[in-house]
Structure 1
Amino acid sequence: MLNRFSDRHASFDDPVSMLLACHERVRHYLALLQKLASHHASHGSDAAAQDAARAVLRYFDIAAPLHHQDEDDNLFPLLHQRGDLSLKTGIDALAGEHPLLHAQWAAMRLPLQTIAAGGVAELNAAEVEGFVALYLHHAAREENAVYPHAATLLSAAELEDMGRQMAARRGVSAGTP
């Protein structure tokens, strides 16, 4: 789904726009991971591979878990309370995928850490492609089947509170992109 919000306009004052902007960054780092896997297969842990591995590690170690926590602790519970059976079932399935995404990520961390340090590692292309495919499908389902309900099921006060909690989770004030 095309992000209706530009990343530069996303702020914690509009938490759904922040979640969508995060998905755009997820796509960016997934593409970088795919490029890294291809590059590493022929060039090893050269400087470019090390830089890419560090960037991917930073994103999926820090930002992605915060994003999942935003959904699991803030957005999903509110929508689950108010949604119909279809929405509740979809939310349950998506929330259930978060541990799987974390487990797949954990399996790739060691080789990426080794590459980032300039060491010899094998980055399994099939694992990378499986992780990328699951994450892309997961994000698209959130964007199309869950996020739009926030506009109709949540109040302005709830969205504002969600934005404050998301900002606090990152140690910034609401209104900060």
Structure 2
Amino acid sequence: MAETEREMLPTDCAIIHEIYDNGDAQEQFEYELEQALEAGRSIIIIEPSRLGDETARWITVGNCLHKTAVLAGMACLVSPWMLPAKATNFVSIPFGTASVACATLYGVSWQFDPCCKYQVEYDTRSLARLPLHTLTTATPVVLVRREDKYRKTLHNVIAGLAAIYLTYKFYHWCAQ
């Protein structure tokens, strides 16, 4: 690595280089990514397009589950105050169920995955600070570590409140 490249790289950055030096290159790329994720690197640059695309999709699905849990939970909790009483159940129950299901699926599949602590970086100003011109690919996937404690707390609280609301509704239906 050239001296100027070292100066430009953040100290806690990992680059998964696309070097095919043996028959198990894809497995080697995955191993290097897993090591970087487990080490908690602040920035991970993935050159191999297949691995980068798979990782970006995995993060996108996790983000979608999180956002769905939050938005559906909010719709469930707000609908009793915003809609007529006859329409409330048709909105709050499906949205509440979706919120609880998404939060549960996220908790089971993503919560303990080290990849959930990362987001794909798309900001060109942030990307311009990285030495991407030294890579062998023109379209690397850049992962940036972000604190997700508040994000997880938000969707768990909202999904929990939606679950309490659903339990309350079903209790009233059974009690009648």
Same fold (TM over 0.5): no
**TM-score using structure 2 length:** 0.38
Tell me the TM-score normalized by structure 1: 0.38
Q: Which has the higher contact order (CA 8 A, sep 6+)?
A: 1
Larger radius of gyration: 2
Answer 1 or 2: which has greater helix percent.
Answer: 1
